[in-house]
């Protein structure tokens, strides 16, 4: 007797997705829609459940053993409660699993979306390995770990939060409240934000009569350093929130925030900073944006002054997709932002290889649509910086699941925890 299918639901900061998936990973139906995260959890979950009923109808209303739900953390996988993810503002103590069960009448299981996607890669990715790490590079950045065929979840169920590994302890402010998290540098949201910051910094430099020294102001607020120190002064770097601001989560536009792009004391700059200035283009991620732009888009308020400097200045709302396209076309500013992104991601992967020593690191998420333009520099940096023995047994690859990674991950969790496969 064939095993029943499961309902798979994926909750992201940019889009919602749903599908009906068989025990062998076959996707019988699939749909996605914009999250509209600014509408709040009640409306968004209602939208998700409407989507669920549509994919069930598309699949001919098959018998469903369970529902799996992938969502950004933190969350409680035991109770199925969402605990305020940075990319889902207002989602505090949301009993998501119970809401799904109440509406659809099946057991529902919640898991961190990247952790779930790691299990899907292990089950259905076509990789002949017993250990792997999955990294999603999308609106946010996260990961999951499978070791010796077992999903690593940690004592509190939050294990494998690779997006919040600190890569610069005095670095950029992350949406989780910490500084220097990997997510603050390599997510699609950060790519867009850093490009907008670089344009603003370039405009300020141009207004001063030269483009060679893009000096940025010091951050404001508690712990901020004075900007009166000379460039290169030996003070701690303290990158602040950006001049283009935080993402408001409704339409992906930037709202004013204190500090400046890549702000650091003493004129330590962003892209193209003068010698002695500490670099840094990143920003706090979070919020939602356009579905077609791999994460949130951000306005560049000084763009109209920069047509002669970077072609990105003519883009009304910059997305990660725009940065990739302009970097491919030879735009120096876009290429510098992209190169910093791939260098940081490559270093992050090297750290993961050293710590976990997996056979495989799989990159997924919307930003990986850049293909080899992302994979080649990340793989070269990662394997070049990792310890030799670990690097020699590891491959770095792109996911084969494409836009269905989230749904397949949710399905893997439903089968894993629901006992249906």
pLDDT in tens, the chain (421 residues): 467 799 999 998 889 999 999 999 999 999 999 999 899 999 999 999 999 999 999 999 999 999 999 998 889 999 999 999 888 999 999 999 999 999 999 999 999 999 999 999 999 999 999 999 999 998 889 999 999 989 898 887 777 889 888 888 888 898 888 999 999 999 999 999 999 998 888 888 777 765 443 333 333 333 333 332 332 332 222 222 232 322 322 223 332 233 333 333 333 333 433 333 333 333 333 333 333 455 544 444 333 344 457 888 888 889 999 999 999 999 999 999 999 999 999 999 999 999 999 999 999 999 999 999 999 999 999 999 999 999 999 999 999 998 899 999 999 999 998 765 5
Residue 343 DSSP SS3 = helix
Q: Where are the alpha helices (DSSP H) in 105-242?
A: 113-124, 183-186, 188-207
- Gap between the Cα atoms of 115 and 112, Å rounded: 5
> What are all long-range contacts of 17-20, with beta carbons under 8 Å and residues at least 24 apart?
17/51, 17/403, 17/404, 17/406, 17/407, 18/48, 18/51, 18/52, 18/54, 18/55, 18/407, 19/55, 19/404, 19/407, 19/408, 19/411, 20/55, 20/56, 20/58, 20/59, 20/62, 20/64
pLDDT value for 159: 79
pLDDT value for 349: 96
- Gap between the Cα atoms of 233 and 324, Å rounded: 34
**Has this prediction a pTM greater than 0.85?**
no
pLDDT value for 17: 96
What pairs with residue 318 in β-bridges? 298
């Amino acid at each position: 007797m064939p095993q029943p299918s499961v309902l798979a639901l994926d909750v992201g900061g940019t889009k919602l997705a749903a599908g009906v998936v068989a025990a062998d990973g076959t996707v019988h139906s699939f749909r996605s829609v914009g999250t509209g995260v600014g509408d709040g959890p009640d409306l968004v979950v209602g939208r998700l459940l409407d989507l669920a009923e549509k994919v069930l109808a598309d699949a001919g209303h098959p018998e469903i053993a369970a529902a799996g739900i992938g969502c950004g953390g933190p969350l409680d996988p035991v109770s199925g409660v969402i605990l305020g993810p940075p990319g889902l503002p207002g989602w505090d103590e949301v009993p998501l699993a119970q809401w799904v069960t109440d509406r659809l009448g099946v057991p529902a299981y919640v898991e961190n979306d990247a952790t779930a996607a790691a299990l899907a890669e292990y089950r259905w990715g076509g990789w002949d390995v017993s250990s792997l790490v999955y990294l999603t590079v999308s609106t946010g950045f996260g990961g999951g770990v499978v070791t010796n065929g077992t999903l690593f979840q940690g004592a509190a169920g939050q294990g494998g939060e690779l997006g919040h590994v600190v890569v610069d302890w005095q670095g950029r402010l992350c949406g989780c409240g910490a500084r220097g998290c990997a997510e603050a540098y390599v997510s699609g949201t950060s790519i867009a934000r850093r490009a907008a910051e670089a344009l603003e910094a370039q405009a300020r430099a141009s207004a001063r009569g030269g483009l060679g020294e893009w000096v940025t102001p010091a951050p404001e607020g508690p712990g901020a350093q004075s900007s009166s120190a000379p460039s290169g002064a030996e003070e701690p770097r303290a990158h602040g929130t950006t001049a283009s601001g935080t993402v408001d989560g409704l339409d992906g536009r930037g709202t004013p925030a204190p500090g400046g792009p890549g702000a650091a004391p003493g004129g330590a700059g962003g892209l193209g900073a003068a010698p002695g200035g500490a670099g840094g283009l990143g920003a706090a991620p979070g919020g939602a944006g356009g579905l077609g732009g791999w994460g949130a888009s951000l306005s560049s308020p000084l763009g109209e002054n920069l047509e002669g400097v970077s072609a990105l200045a003519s883009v009304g709302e910059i997305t990660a997709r725009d940065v990739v396209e302009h970097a491919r076309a030879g735009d120096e500013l876009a290429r510098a932002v992209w190169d910093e992104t791939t260098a940081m991601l490559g270093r992050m992967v090297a750290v993961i290889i050293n710590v976990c020593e997996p056979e495989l690191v799989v990159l997924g998420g919307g930003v990986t649509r850049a293909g080899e333009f992302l994979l080649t520099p990340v793989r070269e940096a990662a394997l070049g910086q990792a310890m030799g023995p670990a690097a020699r047994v590891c491959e770095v690859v792109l996911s084969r699941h494409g836009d269905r990674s989230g749904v397949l991950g949710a399905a893997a969790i439903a089968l894993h925890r629901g006992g249906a496969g």
